[in-house]
Amino acid sequence: MEDRELMLLALEEAQKAAELGEVPVGAVIARRGEVVASAHNTRETEKNATHHAELIAIDRACRALGGWRLWECELFVTLEPCPMCAGAIVNSRIRRVVYGAKDEKAGCCGSVTDLFALPFNHRPVVESGLLEEESHALLQRFFERLREQRREGSKPKWKKPQS
Amino acid sequence: MEDRELMLLALEEAQKAAELGEVPVGAVIARRGEVVASAHNTRETEKNATHHAELIAIDRACRALGGWRLWECELFVTLEPCPMCAGAIVNSRIRRVVYGAKDEKAGCCGSVTDLFALPFNHRPVVESGLLEEESHALLQRFFERLREQRREGSKPKWKKPQS
């Protein structure tokens, strides 16, 4: 499969997250153009801070391939990875990362910082902007709907921390 | 429990990793001085790049407490967190991180970089050096043994990537 097809699959994953009321981010890991793992953000549904799309996909790819070194793998993700996911990319030796939309608030492939420019023991190739508009539009619609729900006073799926 | 006791538990976790032939790192998450979760590095055993002590402990703490915001929790870890684990600390809103030994190669609380100095939406309090000598000695013994095994030609538990 080509890059664009793989990113379309990542977008389908992001759509699944949106349907759950989750921030719509989706990820696909491929090896030699074949899908090895795919996942979407389930932080709210699973009530788990580690359940970002990329981290789940990396976990699944390690299980699928039976090893922690994903050095032949490429990651396609609709949103620029956060520090946790960028760190997991370094740790798993993923060779190439392709992402859609930039994340000005938490992105670690150039937006807030560029973790891959630091002297860690692995540095992936990074490409950005593939299906950026589609990825961004999905996120924008999600946050617009969230703001509407808040204005209308209906209970959003996001809960404030409890003491 | 006091900080020192919690770090001693993290050291016990690190010892469990050493016994498995894993890089000896252990982590404990506590809330108001009570242990919520503990874990040790199982990257080789589980063949999984995400199986660092801190990430497993954060995953377990979210499951134990039923939410992704660990804002009342403190993390005790024998080695300075890597980018993935430092990112997971930001994502889970852990309020305080206490670590033992510095990690000059991958540490993201000041050694390679300080991720917590960046404008993410959460910044934990960080303290270092608690039981540093003990944490460092455990790592040092592990790597000395690994080098000995390599000199003797016996097969280490670490495998090279396969094509």
Q: SS3 sequence, B33-97? A: CEEEEEEECCCCCCCCCCCCHHHHHHHHHHHHHCCCCCCCEEEEEEECCCHHHHHHHHHHCCCEE
| Token pair recorded at residue B119 | 């404008």
| Token pair recorded at residue A92 | 């798993």
pLDDT digits (tens, 9 = 90+) for B30-76: 999 999 999 999 999 999 999 999 999 999 999 999 999 999 999 99
**pTM of the model as a whole:** 0.94
- State which residue of chain A sits closest to B49, comparing Cα positions: A68
* Chain pair A-B, CB pairs under 8 angstroms: 134
DSSP state of A116: G
The Cα of A148 is separated from the nearest Cα of chain B by a number of Å equal to 23
- State which residue of chain B sits closest to A104, comparing Cα positions: B120
Among the partner residues B43, B92, B105, nearest to A68 by beta-carbon distance: B43
Which value does ipTM take for this structure? 0.93
Query: Dihedrals φ, ψ of B34, to 5°?
Result: -105, 135
The Cα of B37 is separated from the nearest Cα of chain A by a number of Å equal to 14
The helix/strand/coil state of A50 is coil
With beta carbons less than 8 A apart as the criterion, state whether A38 and A28 touch.
yes
Q: Would you list which residues of chain A are within 8 Å, Cβ to Cβ, of chain B? A: 43-44, 47-52, 55, 58-59, 62-63, 66-72, 82-88, 90-93, 105-106, 108, 112-113, 115, 118-121, 159, 161-162
How confident is the model at residue B153, as a pLDDT?
A: 83
Q: Which residues of A are catalytic?
A: 54
How confident is the model at residue A155, as a pLDDT?
A: 65
B131-148 average pLDDT score: 96
Q: Using CB atoms within 10 A of its CB, is residue A21 exposed (0-12), middle (13-18) or buried (19+)?
A: middle
